[in-house]
Amino acid sequence: MTSSDRLLSSLRRAHDGEPWHGPSRAQVLSDVTAAEAAWRPAPDAHSMWEIVLHMRSWTLEVLRRAEGGVPAEPTDGDWPAMPSPADDAAWRDTLRSLDEAHTALARFVAQMSEEARAARVKDRPSDPPGHAITQRGMIRSLAEHDVYHTGQLALLKRLARAARPQSH
């Protein structure tokens, strides 16, 4: 398996494949309603919706960096706010935007040369020369970031469903 294949496999398993550790992000989110996605277990805790927006933001930022951009906070912020109204259509749009971001990054990674994958991400002007991570390391780290947050999503989904009033 080539370096590109391994990177793509990591991204795809985390997003919508069959990872060894449990369900993929797509599997966890497949039946989540907008109300569940907007639910938060505590006033200062993130909702599933906010986590999905955060994951999308960082997927797009990693793509921007892979395309040669200097590292920065994601364009739409680290933790974008949920849309208002937070309804079913907006939730479907949010999920679609995450899928689109993932697809765009996977396409870019698939066409990267081995040399491009081994190259370092550009340094910020304030960083010492050579400080940056490789493109390969950054993309692998995004897959790990997604797995971490998918675990949070799975837990929040269970909590949201347990908190829902039971009908008798």
Closest-CA residue to 158 (of 68, 41, 26): 41
Total residues found in the chain within this entry: 168
Ranking 11-20, 24-33, 94-103, 147-156 by mean pLDDT, the lowest is 11-20
pLDDT in tens, 41-66: 999 999 999 999 999 999 999 999 99
Residue 24 confidence (pLDDT) above 90: no
pLDDT in tens, 82-131: 999 899 999 999 999 999 999 999 999 999 999 999 998 887 777 766 66
Residue 168 confidence (pLDDT) above 70: no
The CATH architecture annotation of domain 3-163 reads: Up-down Bundle (1.20)
**End-to-end CA separation in angstroms for the chain:** 54
Task: Enumerate the domain spans of the chain.
Answer: 3-163
Q: Report yes or no on whether pTM surpasses 0.85.
A: yes
Establish how many alpha carbons lie within 13 A of residue 114's alpha carbon, considering only the half-sphere containing its beta carbon: 3
Residue 20's pLDDT is what? 74
Q: What is the mean pLDDT of residues 32-36?
A: 97
Ranking 6-10, 32-36, 41-45, 90-94 by mean pLDDT, the lowest is 6-10
- Element holding 37 (H helix, E strand): helix 34-38
Residue 3's pLDDT is what? 61
pLDDT band at 13 (very low <50, low <70, confident <90, very high): confident
Residue 166's pLDDT is what? 64
Share of the chain above pLDDT 70, in %: 93
Average pLDDT, the chain: 90
Residue 154 confidence (pLDDT) above 80: yes
Distance CA 143, CA 158 (A): 23
